[in-house]
Structure 1
Amino acid sequence: MKKLLGTMVAGGLAVALLAGCGSGSVSGALQTSAGVDTDLRKVTVGAIPIAPSAALQLGIDKGLFAKHGIEIEMQSGQGGASMLPAVSTGTMNVAIGNPVSTMLAVSKGLDLKIISGYSHSLATGDDITGVVALKDSGIETVADLEGKKVSVNTIAGQGDITIMEAMAKAGADPSSVEFTEIAFPDAPAQLEKRNADAVWLAQPFLSQALEAGHHLVTYNYQETIPGQPTLVAFASGKWAEENPELVADFKAALAEVSDYAESHQDEIRALLPTFLKMDPELADGLLLESHSGEIDRDSLQKISELMVKYKVVDKPVDLDQVILD
């Protein structure tokens, strides 16, 4: 089927992953909430340079974290997996990353807790991720991915397990797919060079590929677990246990930030040209994920079951050990 890369496990490789996390802003444009109140408690938050992370900047700009007595210091991460050891060792207090990486790390022995929800895919209509193929490839539906090479941004992640499940639901053989790891920004060019038969893309790359005339094969999230969590906030169990009041205040702040971001998506889009150095015209029409601070336990359970089914983990992750209610 596919080789499970050790990019999300504890041990010696965690040191290498830690090197992928750097201090400073996500895009060079982020600012902390410092200077508002000298009594604010600092929380170092890791985020990756994608559109949903802009909600954090919006929360800083609107003073929503400061309202809860918190100063946010942002650190950049190359991906959710790279931030796991940083949080585990205390380099970051909290990180915003995908739930599969977090649950996999817990299964490998890292002491991590999901403390809040953050963003979700869209249950109906157009979605924020999807699989794309060249129009002349002969790949029309997800069943046509049998025997094909498909790129995902991270192997043993949310992309490949949901693509395989969508194939299984369509009566195709998911074990026949060859998954290859290609970063989202690079995937469209690799598709056009025919180095992959199909590519899994997130926004804004999905919209760009469809506008270029490529064919949408499937919204794999909607075909498997519609509206599933795409990003969660996680912290080390040790930090959470030692700072219960700060964790509670951070969760309350992030819930308020999420609610504001969900009802003010145009303000997020307005941040993207500086936040991600995105073309203003593209930012203005960008499809955004849904934001919510609620932890979707039912969807996380289903994701955990897919992780077992497709051999990412040996047994279901105990959500009572992962989620800090």
Structure 2
Amino acid sequence: MIRRLATAALSLTTLLALTACGADSSADASTDGGQVTLTVGDQAKTLQTIVAASDALKGAKYQVKWAEFEGAAPLYQAVQAGAADTGYSADLPALQALSGGVQVKNVAALKNDGRHVGLVVREDSGIDSVKDLKGQKVVVSSAKGSVSEYLLANVLKQNGLSYKDVKVQYLLPTDAQAAFASGKIKVWATFGVYQAVGLEQGGRLLVDGGDGRVSGIGFINASETALADSSKKTALADFLKRLGTALEWTSTHQDAYAAAIEQRNGADASVARTLASAAYSKVLPITPGVNRTVQGVADLMNGIGVLEPNVDVAESADTSLLK
């Protein structure tokens, strides 16, 4: 079981790398011959798998072109370069993009329960509580400013510790997984399928992102260039509603969604179930409450030097597309 999960995780990462630079010009939407094409940034076929499995684009009056990337950072670079009209990510990567000057506006919020992010420790680590992390090396996957790093920073603060009380090292998930499996890592801040694999490889969940330890909020954003195009803006507003319907479908059809992940992404069945259970389940308007919650994330990460300069979350939103 351990070997199968580890192989599945590595296979999924290989899949991500293979799709990182590609763009699928075929649209799952039917069109009426119009010229409007919305280029939607995606990560590992996540959104297009959801949309295709739920048939959410049936009858759409525009074309959808999918632009594939391995993660949020290259996706936002593509949006900045005009190669994609939209991006999406968890809250902190979106904040990093905005802080770095990417010309996007958050147009909708995504929501899950946060349990797909966790701090995993080895069974023999002697670490039984967050306070035991003082003086320890913590490996964060994958890059500076990931949602797993926010979980680490937040739980340290909640337990009276400083971020300087731990020694942070950044490792890509597959590298960290191999090191964790060999016993070279005692504490791993990770997410999704890698969290599941770590728990199968002699790991124990110290704490996850549930109960508000991470916001559970992600963002769909759009380039300012796309938003200035009235036809694209209209298409994007319709796409957001259809994506909301598709995400609701995933929450009530997890077996069918997992099967779609296996079929379209080539993932192992256990990986597919993990990914299906960790999916965002709602598309929501960006409200003052959403902005306040994510501003708290921004302020904490700015305070420890991870997010520089800070971001005004409310000013980074366009609330006109989804009421």
Above 0.5 in TM-score? Answer: yes
Quote the offset at 1:226 in angstroms.
Answer: 5.0
- Which residue number in structure 1 is paired with residue 197 of structure 2? 208
Quote the offset at 1:265 in angstroms.
Answer: 2.2
- Which residue number in structure 1 is paired with residue 299 of structure 2? 305
Contact in 1 for aligned 2:53/2:257 (Cα 8 Å): no
- Which residue number in structure 2 is paired with residue 22 of structure 1? 21
- Secondary structure (helix, strand or coil) at the match of 2:145 reads coil
Matches within 5 A, 1:1-325: 21-24=20-23, 32-33=27-28, 37-39=32-34, 41-49=36-44, 54-122=46-114, 127-152=115-140, 153-219=142-208, 221-222=209-210, 224-229=212-217, 231-243=218-230, 244-284=233-273, 287-294=277-284, 295=286, 296-314=290-308, 316-325=310-319
1:142-166 deviations in whole A, cap 9, x for unaligned?
2222222222211123221320220
- Secondary structure (helix, strand or coil) at the match of 2:161 reads coil
Amino acid at match of 1:256: T
Contact in 2 for aligned 1:46/1:96 (Cα 8 Å): yes
Quote the offset at 1:92 in angstroms.
Answer: 0.7
For residues 112 and 239 of structure 1, what CA distance do their matches in structure 2 show?
9
How many correspondences in the alignment? 293
For residues 184 and 200 of structure 1, what CA distance do their matches in structure 2 show?
10
% of aligned pairs identical?
Answer: 19
In structure 2, the CA distance between the partners of 1:70 and 1:306, relative to structure 1 (3 Å rule), is: farther
Amino acid at match of 1:249: D
Quote the offset at 1:227 in angstroms.
Answer: 4.9
Amino acid at match of 1:251: L
**Structure 2 length as normaliser, TM-score?**
0.80
For residues 136 and 197 of structure 2, what CA distance do their matches in structure 1 show?
23
1:78-97 deviations in whole A, cap 9, x for unaligned?
21011112112210111222
For residues 180 and 198 of structure 1, what CA distance do their matches in structure 2 show?
10
Structure 1's unaligned 5+ residue stretches are 1-19
- Secondary structure (helix, strand or coil) at the match of 1:131 reads strand
- Secondary structure (helix, strand or coil) at the match of 1:65 reads coil
Quote the offset at 1:203 in angstroms.
Answer: 1.9
In structure 2, the CA distance between the partners of 1:23 and 1:298, relative to structure 1 (3 Å rule), is: same
For residues 162 and 61 of structure 1, what CA distance do their matches in structure 2 show?
31
Contact in 2 for aligned 1:32/1:72 (Cα 8 Å): yes
Contact in 2 for aligned 1:155/1:180 (Cα 8 Å): no
For residues 222 and 192 of structure 1, what CA distance do their matches in structure 2 show?
25
Contact in 1 for aligned 2:43/2:69 (Cα 8 Å): yes
Amino acid at match of 1:103: L
For residues 40 and 250 of structure 1, what CA distance do their matches in structure 2 show?
16
Amino acid at match of 1:288: A
Quote the offset at 1:282 in angstroms.
Answer: 4.5
Contact in 2 for aligned 1:155/1:179 (Cα 8 Å): no
In structure 2, the CA distance between the partners of 1:118 and 1:110, relative to structure 1 (3 Å rule), is: same
In structure 2, the CA distance between the partners of 1:114 and 1:102, relative to structure 1 (3 Å rule), is: same
Contact in 2 for aligned 1:31/1:57 (Cα 8 Å): no
Amino acid at match of 1:104: Q
Quote the offset at 1:255 in angstroms.
Answer: 2.1
For residues 258 and 55 of structure 1, what CA distance do their matches in structure 2 show?
9
For residues 274 and 46 of structure 1, what CA distance do their matches in structure 2 show?
21
Structure 2's unaligned 5+ residue stretches are 1-18
The worse-fitting range, judged by mean Cα deviation, of 290-299 and 91-100 is 290-299
For residues 235 and 291 of structure 1, what CA distance do their matches in structure 2 show?
20
Quote the offset at 1:312 in angstroms.
Answer: 2.5
For residues 194 and 212 of structure 1, what CA distance do their matches in structure 2 show?
9
For residues 273 and 94 of structure 2, what CA distance do their matches in structure 1 show?
32
Quote the offset at 1:21 in angstroms.
Answer: 4.9
